[in-house]
Structure 1
C-alpha cells in the first residue's frame, strides 16, 4: 500500500451554517487555483456567479471540456457525477489544484454493472484469463498482455476504465469499488465539507487508506481549525411524530418482509397530515423511502403522489425549502456488502449514528433551513429512529 502522507481537511458544520458562503470567500481571497465539486447544477450556478468559477458547458463531452478548462488554470466547478468519472489524463491536467468537495462523494460503493452483465460474467473473464483475482487481497486486476473481444468486451472495457481510478475487491458474494488513494495526490490540498463526518463512510474510507484528517468548523463566517460538536439552528421548530400502534423499523429488510404493512404505514402518515397539520402547510410536503419501494408506497393511496418523492440521498439543495411537512418512510443503514467489506478490514461504522446523520440531512432539505418561524412537521416511520432524534435534540 502507498504509505506517503495524505491529509484530508474535513470542514464539519451543520446544515445552514454557511459552508458554501465560506467556500466562496476562500476562493475569492486566496491566491490558489480551485476545483470545487458540488452535488447539483444549481449550486454550480451559484459558485460560478459568486466565486468566478467556470464549468463545462456540455456542448461536447464534459470530460473533454474539463480537460480543456484545466489547462486554463482558472477556478473550476463541477458536479459529483463528473468528478466520479475523472480520467487519469484529466487528473494530471488538474495537478496542483486545491480541491474542495461540498458533501462527501462516493469513495466506497458496490460495483454497478453495465446493463446486461452480472457477477458470473466477471467469473468468466477470470476463467478466460482477461482478469485475475489476488487470493490474498481479493483485489481484481486486468491482465495486461490480453485484450478482450466478443460478448464480454463491454464489461471488460468498463472494468478496465473503472480500475484506472478505483480498486475493485471481491467481498463475499459482492464486488466493491474503492477510490484509489493515489488519485488524491494530484491535488495540492483537499477539503471535504459536510456534517457529522466522524460517523460517515468517508471517515471509514480514511481509516482504510491511512489518510490523516484535520477537522475544521465555521466560526463567525470563517473556516477555522478544530472540531466543533454543534447542532444546527431552528431545532425548536421541529414537530416530530411516529405512529404509536405500528411497530416497524423501516429498514430495507422490513420492507422485504412486511410488504403488507406498507399501506398501514402510509395511511398513518396521511391521517397524521390531515388531522394535525394546519391546512396552509398540508400540501407542501415531500417524502422518501428506498428507491426500490418508491412505487409500492405511491400506489397505496391517491392521497400522496410519486411527484413528491425525494431521494434519501438528497443533500446541499434548497429546492424543497418551501415545504413544511416531511415523510420519512425508511431508516437508512450502511449497505450490507460495504459493512462486511469494512468489517473484514477491522473498520466499524456506528450505524445508529450513521442513520441519524442521514435523517438530519434529509429533514434539512425542508423549510427548517430558512429563517421562517413556522413549525416543520416530520413523520418518522421508525420508532427507534424517532427516539434517537429526540434523544440527540435533548442531549
Structure 2
C-alpha cells in the first residue's frame, strides 16, 4: 500500500447544494495545466455528459455519447459549447471488452475521462497502475463500506477452523492464509475462494460480531492517483470521512457558500401534531419498524401522506415527491402516489426541480454493521450527521434548488429535529463564509 499521507493529496469541496461546488471544480480544471489529466466520477450518466459537454440520443437508454467521426484508433464525440469542451473528456465504452477495461485503456492513453460511481467501484487497484499522474474528482462521496454476504456465519466458522482465514492484528481485518490452503500449494486461483483471497490480500474484508463480513473499498484504489478531489456537503458525517480517517488521511477542507439559516425561510416544515404523531418516538419509522410492523405503519403513513398532499398543500401530481424505505413504497403509495416516489438516496439530479411539496417518511440510520466496522477501526460513522446529510440531499432534489419555497412533511421526530437544528446553523463547523483548512477527515 502507498503511504496515503505523503503520496496522494486529498481535497474536499464542502458546500451546500447549489453553492457552486461543480462550478468551482470546473474552473479548477479549466485553469490547470493542459497536460494534467482528470478522471471525473459522478453518480449519474446525465452528469457525465454535462461535465464533458457531450450529447446523447434521448431515445438511447444507455445514453452513449454521439460520435462525430471515428477511425481505427480514436473516437471523436459531438461536443456542445461547454466550459470543458477543450479538455475532450472521453466516456468508457463496451467496445472491445467491458467498460472497466475501457476505462483502464483510456487512462493508459492519458485521456481525460468521465465515468459513473458504479463503474469506478468495479475497478481493482491493479487496473489503476497508470493513474499516478491523474487527479481523481469524486462528485458526491462514493460507497466505501457494504455488507458482504457471500459466506454464511457457519461457512466462515469452518474457514477459521481450517486455518484458511484469520483476523489481523487490528482485530477486524480478515487475512487469507495461503500456506494453510488445501492441497493446491496455497494457491486459491481457480477455486471458489479466489475472490475471497484477493479481497483479503487487499484488506477489503472486515469481520464484525463474529458473524458478518463488511466489504471496504481498498485504500489503494484512491492512493493510485496523484490527487483526489471530493465535492460534497456535510462530509464530516459521511462514511467516506470515517474511512479516510481510519487510514490517517489528511484532507484539505474548502468550505464556502450559503448557510442553512439563509434559506430557512424557503422551507415550510409541517408541525401538524396529528400527522406527525406516528413518528413521536425517537426510533419510530426506522427500517426495523417498517419491517416488524409494516401493515400498521404503512397504512397510517398512507393516510397521512394523502392528508398532507391533498388537504395541507392542495398539491397536484406534477408538483410533489415523497420517499420511504423501498419495502413500504407500494403499500403507502396506493394508486394515487406511486409515480411520485423517489428513492431516499437519490442525488445529483435536477429532474424534480419543479416539485414544491415533499414528504420524507423515514427515520434513517446507517447500516449497523457498517457503524460497528468503522467503530472497530477507531472512527465510527456519525449517525445523526449522516442521516441529516442524506435527508437534506434528498430534499434538494425539489424546487428549493431553484430558490422556490417548498412544503415539507417529516413525521419522524428525530429527523424533523435534526432538520430544524440544521436550519438554525447548529451543524455549521465555522461561522466564516469561506474556510480552507488542513484537517483530519473526522
Using the size of structure 2 for normalisation, the TM-score is: 0.77
- Output the CA distance in 2 between the equivalents of 1:90 and 1:64: 8
Question: Are residue 86 (structure 1) and residue 123 (structure 2) matched?
Answer: yes
In structure 2, the residue matched to 1:330 is 362
- C-alpha deviations, 1:105-154, integer Å up to 9, x for none? 011222253xxx5443344444555x41226434222344434599xx44
5+ unaligned residues in a row in structure 1: which ranges?
Answer: 220-228
Question: Contact 1:102/1:194 (CA < 8 Å) preserved in 2?
Answer: yes
In structure 1, the residue matched to 2:432 is none
> What is the Cα deviation at residue 5 of structure 1?
1.7
The alignment partner of 1:93 has SS state of coil
Question: Contact 1:33/1:74 (CA < 8 Å) preserved in 2?
Answer: yes
**Distance change in 2, residues 1:190/1:378 (3 Å):** same
- C-alpha deviations, 1:35-56, integer Å up to 9, x for none? 1111100000011113231111
Aligned to 2:267, which of 207, 219, 238?
238
> What is the Cα deviation at residue 194 of structure 1?
0.5
> What is the Cα deviation at residue 271 of structure 1?
0.9
5+ unaligned residues in a row in structure 2: which ranges?
Answer: 54-81, 179-184, 426-442
**Distance change in 2, residues 1:387/1:165 (3 Å):** same
Question: Are residue 302 (structure 1) and residue 302 (structure 2) matched?
Answer: no
- Output the CA distance in 1 between the equivalents of 2:261 and 2:103: 35
**Distance change in 2, residues 1:238/1:15 (3 Å):** same
In structure 2, the residue matched to 1:292 is 327
The alignment partner of 1:323 has SS state of coil
Using the size of structure 1 for normalisation, the TM-score is: 0.86
Aligned to 1:263, which of 289, 299, 317?
299
The alignment partner of 1:327 has SS state of strand
Question: Are residue 254 (structure 1) and residue 286 (structure 2) matched?
Answer: no
In structure 1, the residue matched to 2:419 is 389
Matched ranges for 1:214-225 at <5 A: 214-218=252-256
**Distance change in 2, residues 1:200/1:48 (3 Å):** same
Question: Contact 2:172/2:373 (CA < 8 Å) preserved in 1?
Answer: no
- Output the CA distance in 2 between the equivalents of 1:233 and 1:118: 50
In structure 1, the residue matched to 2:310 is 274
> What is the Cα deviation at residue 65 of structure 1?
0.7
**Distance change in 2, residues 1:146/1:296 (3 Å):** farther
- Output the CA distance in 2 between the equivalents of 1:239 and 1:20: 28
Aligned to 1:196, which of 212, 226, 234?
234
**Distance change in 2, residues 1:67/1:3 (3 Å):** closer
> What is the Cα deviation at residue 23 of structure 1?
1.7
Matched ranges for 1:1-395 at <5 A: 5-6=5-6, 7-31=9-33, 32-49=36-53, 50=82, 51=84, 52-59=88-95, 60-113=97-150, 118-128=152-162, 131-134=164-167, 136=169, 137-144=171-178, 145-148=185-188, 153-154=191-192, 156-163=193-200, 167-172=204-209, 173-218=211-256, 230-231=259-260, 234-241=263-270, 244-245=273-274, 246-248=277-279, 249-259=284-294, 260-279=296-315, 281-298=316-333, 301-305=334-338, 307-371=339-403, 373=404, 375-395=405-425
Question: Contact 1:165/1:183 (CA < 8 Å) preserved in 2?
Answer: no
Larger radius of gyration: 2
Judge which range, 175-184 or 362-371, deviates more. 175-184
- Output the CA distance in 1 between the equivalents of 2:189 and 2:245: 39
The alignment partner of 1:70 has SS state of helix
> What is the Cα deviation at residue 362 of structure 1?
0.6
